[in-house]
Amino acid sequence: ADLTETSRALEARKLKIDRVIKALKAEEAAETAEGEPDGQEGKGSSGSDDDTEDVMEDSDESPGFLAPVCAF
């Protein structure tokens, strides 16, 4: 029973994270589309690099949040 509840909680978190990833990708695509006509492609790519680092930082934090759930 506890494993089932944990599995459901993890699945819910995964869905939330997937939604955030999709939103970030859509935002990055929109920024890239805006940057191309203005000739600011270089600035857009450096901005996406920063976004990528933010996503990586978030993904580094996620296992920390999930580990206590798995431990129970």
DSSP, residue by residue, 27-56 = HHHHHHHHHHHHT-HHHHHHHHHHHHHHHH
pLDDT at 11 (0 to 100) = 98
- Pairwise CA distance, residues 5 & 70, whole Å: 11
- Pairwise CA distance, residues 32 & 15, whole Å: 26
Domain ranges of the chain: 2-71
Whole-number CA gyration radius for the chain: 17
- Pairwise CA distance, residues 13 & 5, whole Å: 12
Put simply, whether the predicted model's pTM sits higher than 0.75 gets the answer no
Tens of pLDDT, residues 7-52: 999 999 999 999 999 999 999 999 988 876 544 445 554 444 444 4
